[in-house]
Chains A and B, each alone.
Chain A
Amino acid sequence: MDYFIQQLVNGLTLGSIYGLIAIGYTMVYGIIGMINFAHGDIFMLGGFAALIVFLLLATYIAGIPVALAILIMMVVAMLMTSLWNWSIERIAYRPLRGSFRLAPLITAIGMSITLSNFIQVSQGPRNKPIPPMITEVYHIGNITVQLKQIVIIIVTAVLLSIFWYIVHKTPLGRAQRATEQDRKMAALLGVDVDRTISVTFVMGAALASVAGTMYLMYYGVVAFNDGFIPGVKAFTAAVLGGIGSLPGAVLGGLLIGLIEALWSAYFTIDYKDVATFGLLAFVLIFKPTGILGRPEVEKV
């Protein structure tokens, strides 16, 4: 039982990271109906931005409190990746709006390759480690909870609350939901649709970059190709939860995290990805709309 709870904690931590990334996939899909395959790399960029900030802070402000350091890392990563994702949308996706459906998908894959190669060339191909930032560990009975796990879960919960508030209670969120449901009608009501779509990319990037920062802090390492597997898993999470659904993305993320942790604990760790993607295949066969997704209504 203790072992199970232990894995639950690990799974929730991992799931939080996937959930934060998955929101970016699902939001963009909801609003313009495309899968932004570069989103995983945006997450990786967030990790690198945080890494660079960490190194700068460690070099120039040696005694900085850890909490403040993480906050600065997060904010800078958010700003940088937001700018990146905004530019990507502007350069690679917007000119193709109204083009055939595969076109933005292909440029998205192109952007993904561009970003990871850019980081590989500019930052080097090796893993980039940082020393552990948070080392405190609590023991509750036989269960070990690391402080950094608690930090990740709390940061995720706080961010999701803010995010939920923006989407459901602010004019910006209303404009986003309106654009998602009927782009033309939103424009008829004075909503700047292009700007709303840009903001959606920025919000997705901000959440992914926090995930990147948390990932760096949790594993203590980031590499240029780290966007791929976590990106695909977060995408799986979004599909599992029901692509286009925000609560679905979070739920899917948590489920994928839990499945991975529990599978690794009770079966063989080598097959954890097989388990995850096997589940994706299963969901796509038996409930293609995902757990919380609504059936796609063909628009005329």
Chain B
Amino acid sequence: MSETLLKVEGVETYYGNIRALGGVDVEVKKGEIVSLIGANGAGKSTLMMTICGAPQARSGSIIFDGTDITRMPTHLIARMRIAQSPEGRRIFGRMTVLENLQMGAGLDNLKYFKEDVERIFEMFPRLKERQSQRGGTLSGGEQQMLSIGRALMARPKLLLLDEPSLGLAPLIVKGIFEAIKKLNQEEGLTVFLVEQNAFAALKLSDRAYVMVNGKVTMTGSGRELLANPEVRAAYLEGGHH
């Protein structure tokens, strides 16, 4: 058993008076790819953002790498090397692609920028072609690549990906998932991802959690959940893969 990197215990998050997360327990171990699947509005993105302290959990605890980060401000959590490619990508539209990547590398003051940016360009050659273009002018797929690339520039210990496949052509999705797998295998990068494309996510993941109405209802290895009839009925069948 490898070490626990992220431990979320009994986390409750509210938007005003509305409870978005109702006591969530999730664990991610070093070197794993863990996915979180569930319907729209189940609270998947809320969990991703709660891990980063935006918004903060009202109760429960989030332990990262032995440190309690539940009440830590967002920028300090980022400095613990949790990088997120958030819902909606959140590219800085009036900055160039290169500047967006520089923002990602801000934690180290661009110390490793040159070598890291080369790696990102290798992974996503489209970004290299577009490097001096403004983020807002990129296509959805390119923005997704940029969002992931920007997160990777932080040299994260934990990479949070919120719907990396959303709205993208299947071929691009495949490319992105392959890139994630490669980073995981070759560099031991720990990945926690939210996906609507449950089939692809489960195939990619070591383990997965299923979320319904702000609660984790099921967990198991990717393979187990792929074979589970309930999961198949709710998230896999009828979908196109």
Contact check, A191 vs B84: say whether CB atoms are below 8 A apart: no
Stretch touching chain A among B38-46, B93-101, B187-195, B202-210: B93-101
Contact A181 B86 (CB under 8 A): no
- Measured CB to CB, the closest approach of chain A to B95, in angstroms, equals 6
B75 near A185: Cβ-Cβ < 8 Å: no
In the bound complex, do residue A185 and residue B92 qualify as a contact, i.e. CB atoms below 8 Å apart?
yes
Given the complex of chains A and B, what is the CA–CA distance between A50 and B70 in angstroms? 48
- Docked complex Cα distance between A174 and B104 (Å): 11
Number of A-B residue pairs having CB atoms within 8 Å of each other in the complex = 62
B200 in contact (CB, < 8 A): no
Question: CB within 8 A of B90: which of A174, A177, A182?
Answer: A182
Tell me which of A177, A178, A187 contacts B74 (CB under 8 A).
Answer: A187
- Checking B90, B110, B154 against A185 with a beta-carbon cut-off of 8 angstroms, the contacting residue is B90
CA gap between A159 and B94 in the complex, in Å: 24
- Which residues does chain B contribute within 8 Å of A190, judged by CB atoms? 75, 78-79, 106-107, 154
> Does A287 sit at the interface, judged by CB under 8 A?
no
The answer on a CB contact under 8 Å between B75 and A187 is: yes
- CA gap between A189 and B54 in the complex, in Å: 12
Separation of A33 and B73 alpha carbons in the complex (Å): 22
- Tell yes or no: A192 within 8 A of B by CB: yes
Residues A189 and B93 in contact, CB atoms below 8 Å apart: no
Shortest Cβ distance from A177 into B: residue: B95
Tell me which residues from 157 to 187 in chain A have a Cβ below 8 Å from any Cβ of chain B: 171, 174-175, 177-178, 181-182, 184-187
- Find residues 192-208 in chain A having any chain B CB closer than 8 Å to their own CB: 192-193
B52 within 8 A of A: yes
Residues of A within 8 A of B73 (CB): 187
Closest to B150 in A: A189
| Shortest Cβ distance from B100 into A: residue | A178
User: Is the CB of B103 closer than 8 A to any CB of chain A?
Assistant: yes
* Residues 7 to 46 of chain B near chain A (Cβ within 8 Å): none
Is there contact, CB below 8 Å, between A175 and B106?
yes
Residue of B whose beta carbon sits closest to that of A184:
B54
Beyond A171-B110, A174-B106, A189-B103, is A181–B93 a contact (Cβ under 8 Å)?
Answer: yes
A140 at interface by CB-CB < 8 Å: no
Task: State which of A171, A182, A192 has its C-beta within 8 Å of the C-beta of B75.
Answer: A192
Within 8 A of A (CB), among B147-162: 150, 154
B contact residues around A178 at 8 Å (CB): 92, 95, 103
In whole angstroms, how far apart are the Cα atoms of A190 and B102 in the complex?
12
Chain A residues near B78: list those with CB within 8 A.
Answer: 187-190
Measured in the bound complex, the distance between the Cα atoms of B150 and A13 in whole Å is 44
Which residue of the partner chain B has the closest CB to A175?
B106
Sample of 16 more A-B contacts, CB < 8 Å, known A187-B78, A188-B52: A174-B102, A174-B106, A175-B103, A182-B92, A184-B74, A186-B103, A187-B54, A187-B73, A187-B75, A188-B54, A188-B74, A189-B78, A189-B83, A189-B106, A190-B79, A192-B75
Closest 5 CB pairs of A and B: A190-B78, A187-B74, A185-B90, A190-B107, A187-B75
Q: State the A residues within 8 Å of B (CB).
A: 171, 174-175, 177-178, 181-182, 184-193
